[in-house]
């Protein structure tokens, strides 16, 4: 970091310019990268507000230029060894938790501390409690305070894997709802997220919910695809049988 003094309304204030992502924790990285514009992100890297930069008379232009380059490239890092290359082989519970927080996040980056904590601290929380309630705040902040270069590789990999697996099974699992389902009000279940599916695959046995959450995500999605197509086959078969019966 480079310290400097900003004179503001006759008062000198100590500020710092961050010249490398190595100087930034994950929480600050999220704040920086979710600013409305790249210039505002660059200003935050330089310890300034956009208004303060506007009154700086070009003194800080070189620092702002470097900060804009940092923002454009973003932080990068490798996938850590503890994180599986194929998240389809890890439990469906952790995968669905990641989907939950990516869905809730105003910007993708806001989910990063959750994503990192979900996989890195998997033995320190209860996946079922977090799915139907909230993820432990202390684990969120534990991840958020880590250096961004230590965490960004894991976060990027998790996002990529969620997208890959979601797209892989989307042709079956994202099939359009039928008019009958819409008329019956199937949307009422949306507020429960993954829980209705989990309850179904536990056979309604509440003591098996946690057991089901440990099933590998790819295995779970494959079974869900089979059941989805089976249900569609049975629906169409019954329609054909009914039509043929009515013709007699």
Instruction: List the pLDDT tens digit at each of the 248 positions of the chain.
Output: 888 877 777 788 888 899 999 999 999 999 999 999 999 999 999 998 888 888 776 778 889 999 999 999 999 999 999 999 999 999 999 999 999 999 999 999 999 999 999 999 999 999 999 999 999 999 999 999 999 999 999 999 999 999 999 999 887 777 655 566 566 665 665 777 888 889 999 998 999 999 999 999 999 999 988 888 888 788 888 888 888 888 76
113 vs 106: CA distance, rounded Å:
14
Q: What is the pLDDT of residue 7?
A: 75
Task: List alpha helices for the chain, DSSP H.
Answer: 26-33, 38-45, 50-54, 61-73, 92-104, 112-120, 127-132, 137-144, 148-173, 179-184, 195-201, 209-213, 217-247
Instruction: Check: CB of residue 141 under 8 Å from CB of residue 112.
Output: no
End-to-end CA distance of the chain: 84
43 vs 39: CA distance, rounded Å:
6
| Phi and psi angles of residue 185, each rounded to the nearest 5 degrees, phi first | 85, 40
Dihedral of CA 29/30/35/38: which sign?
positive
Element (H, E) at 16: strand 11-17
pTM, two decimal places: 0.87
196 vs 110: CA distance, rounded Å:
26
Print burial letters for 156-170: b (CB count within 10 Å at least 16), e (below 16). Answer: bbbbebbeebeeebe
């Amino acid at each position: 970091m480079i310290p400097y003094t900003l004179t503001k309304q006759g008062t000198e204030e100590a500020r710092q310019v961050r010249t490398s992502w190595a100087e930034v924790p994950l929480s600050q990285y999220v704040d920086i990268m979710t600013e409305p514009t790249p210039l505002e992100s660059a200003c935050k890297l330089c310890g300034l507000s956009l208004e303060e930069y506007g009154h700086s008379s070009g003194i800080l232009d070189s620092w702002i230029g470097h900060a804009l380059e940092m923002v454009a490239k973003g932080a990068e890092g490798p996938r850590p060894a503890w994180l599986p290359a194929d998240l389809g082989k890890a439990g469906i519970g952790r995968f669905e938790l990641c989907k939950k927080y990516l869905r809730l996040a105003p910007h993708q980056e806001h989910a990063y501390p959750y994503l990192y904590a979900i996989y890195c601290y998997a033995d320190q929380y209860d996946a079922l409690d977090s799915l139907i309630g909230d993820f432990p705040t202390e684990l969120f902040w534990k991840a958020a305070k880590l250096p961004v270069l230590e965490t960004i590789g894991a976060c990027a990999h998790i996002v990529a894997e969620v997208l890959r697996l979601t797209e892989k099974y989307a042709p079956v699992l994202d099939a359009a709802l039928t008019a009958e389902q819409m008329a019956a009000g199937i949307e009422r279940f949306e507020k429960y997220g993954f829980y209705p599916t989990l309850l179904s695959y536990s056979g309604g046995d509440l003591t098996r919910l946690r057991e089901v959450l440990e099933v590998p995500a790819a295995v779970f999605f494959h079974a869900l695809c089979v059941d989805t197509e089976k249900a569609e086959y049975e629906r169409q078969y019954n329609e054909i049988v009914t039509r043929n019966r009515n013709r007699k």
